Amino acid sequence: MKIRIINILVFLLLAATGAARDVASFCDGWEFKKGPFPADAMKGAGKWNSNWEAVTIPHTWNATDMQKKASSFYAGEAYYRKRFTPDPDLKGKRVFLRFEGVGSCAEVYINGYLAGTHKGAYSAFVCEIGPQLKFGEENELIVKADNSERPDVIPVNHILFGVYGGIYRPVWLVATDPCAIVVNDCASPGVFITQKNVTSKSADVAVKVKVGNSLKSPASMRLENAVYDMDGRLVKTDRQDFTLTPQSNQSIISSFRISRPHLWQGREDPYLYKVVSTLYRDGKKVDEVVQPLGLRRYEIVAGDGFYLNGKKYPMYGVTRHQDWWGLGSALTNKEHDFDLDQIMEIGATTVRFAHYQQSDYLYSRCDSLGLVIWAEIPFVNRVTGQEWDNAHQQMRELIRQSFNHPSIYIWGIHNEVYHPHGYTAALTQSIHDLCKTEDPDRYTVTVNGFGSVDHPVNGNADIQGMNRYFGWYERKLQDIVPWIEKIEREYPWCPLILSEYGADANIAHQTELLGDALDWTSPFYPETFQTKTHETHWPIIASHPQIVASYLWNMFDFAVPTSRRGSVEARNMKGMITFDRKTRKDSFYWYKANWSKDPVVYLTQRRNNLRERRETSVTVYSNMGVPSVTINGRDLGTPRRGNTDVHYIFDGVKLDDGENILMAKVNADGKQYTDTITWQYNGDCNRGSDFDQHRTEHGSW
């Protein structure tokens, strides 16, 4: 299976390439300088021509300043320059630049000519540059990028997360025959695969291919669409001959019925076919595009749950922001792979990629890993009344660029946008209609933070998402129960997703003195409270099928450049893993024990090692059976069961003065699994100024 996955990934990474299409990385040899400059700066002279910095794409100018001090970062214009000599053999072809992401508005110039513009940091876009190129000679490419807040481009501010400036995703040079599968249809692959009536007996598949002719005369064409299984065996094929009229685009559709299909069954069996669309002109192959095909059927049933191919499927959900400490959003596939490895290890089955379109490579990996995913546009936090067109544009781009990923089950329209209610509701309904026009077979979702089904902006999408932070931003931890019971009682027809829940955790902040709520405006964000939040909330979520899917917030800490929280600048610390990806918090192992099939035996509170009470409790997560625990060699006896069947608590444990070594053991399947931590006890104390100073001196903070 590993070899099969690697093979299919090669096809996905070459999704828009083929033998007759030239696709080359365009990420090297760039220069960069920060603006702003006068409007005529690119005409040369003085300040414009000096002090360029050599960079490699992906690149962002906010890799550090958006992460270190709240509200102290550069948002504005910057410029990228590249000099290159296109091969003379490209003359007569159509030549494009494909940018996977530029934050957040871009202008592209070739030899001083404006070749294209784009508004939106997270979707790909294409500029045709062939008419301006000098083949066999040096050409100059200038890209102006600007990540200033704009009321007409979503997101309209940097409040929930920072929009990193720069060419932060790869760039590709694409050359095609004058007659080819279209490259510049919202930067889509030009091939759109739909599937209906999917069962274990058969599946109906339609492949629509958009082809274009830039010539001034008709062309005799043949399109071949072929479906191959994972072993490379031909399953179905269709050939159509047609005349492609000049200066036009046409859509050709092939329809197949696949008998006894091998279904895409999530993490259990993420089986992928591939669709190869090959275009011939006058009998000669001129273009080819390869796309994934995972045959599956999604269904959400209010009050019951999520179904994949007719079977109930657990939706163990995490969310992911794309930025990394010290890198910002300028990531390589190495960083994407690391994040996916952590998501797979925790046992997640579904991911909400928030709050914007993320790398197509990431979506492709989810196809092959079997993760069911939620993809969304960055319509978040605020409404200006000027974002209508751009919100539609970004949703159209998201859908067309990501249409063929079988892992995507839902399109996210907005997250926590409200006033004015009438405008927001109308815009949401319009985007929902756009989704259903572009892709009638997937769900849509909007997200509300108030927790009320009848809120004025709700009811304009297929699914209602709600962000709830009981015990953190509102009320007490246990108040999640009456909230969900009220919805079950009054709105049983409502398909509900708990789209965010959790609490911040600064791993340098620790205490065993916890209540059922914490003041999030305080400077103290103990990891232990985050742990308690998830220990409380997950079993409640799991026992209420009205919540058809849930997404803990967040898999990783991330930058919030406009705020200072929990004694840390520019950070949201609700992650299961720290921003630098080096430390897994206790909550990571809580979910791994509950969700994953991998063995887990884990003692909590290892960083809360300076204990405040002689008599305390010891908690172990074990999915391998009942653990035995010793402290300085003394057996602690039999634990009580906690909130789930992997949760074990030893009460009334008395610590020795000084060092206390705790060891947990479980024998299972002929193996012994152990975990060890050390606590220090120096006398009872309350968390206060003296105690805080003591911790600071001993490096615990």
Enzyme catalytic residues: 416
Q: How far apart are CA 589 and CA 347, in angstroms?
A: 10
Residue from 623, 125, 143 nearest 393 by CA: 125
Q: How far apart are CA 28 and CA 56, in angstroms?
A: 5
Please, what is the Cα angle at 157 between 67 and 430, to 5 degrees? 135
Three-state SS at 549 = strand
CA distances from 656 to 62, 613, 677, 680 (A): 49, 11, 15, 9
Q: How many helices (H) and strands (E) does the chain have?
A: 10, 44
**Contacts of residue 147, Cβ cutoff 8 Å, sequence gap at least 6:** 62, 75, 76, 103, 104, 105, 121, 163, 164, 165, 166
Is the distance from CB of 575 to CB of 556 less than 8 angstroms?
yes
Contact 347, 595 (CB under 8 A): yes
Q: Distance (Å, rounded) from C-alpha 664 to C-alpha 641?
A: 15
**Would you give the end-to-end CA distance of the chain in angstroms?**
45
DSSP secondary structure letter of residue 41: G
Q: What type of residue is 89?
A: D
Neighbours of 651 (CB within 10 A): 12
CA pair distance 582, 562, nearest whole angstrom: 24
Measuring CA to CA, which residue among 607, 620, 597, 608 is closest to residue 675?
620
Alpha carbon distance 494, 487 (integer Å): 8
Q: Burial level of 54, CB count in 10 A (0-12/13-18/19+)?
A: exposed
In this structure, what DSSP letter does residue 231 have?
Answer: T
Tokens 């909130």 locate to: 643
Q: Nearest CA to 162 among 104, 241, 108, 117?
A: 104
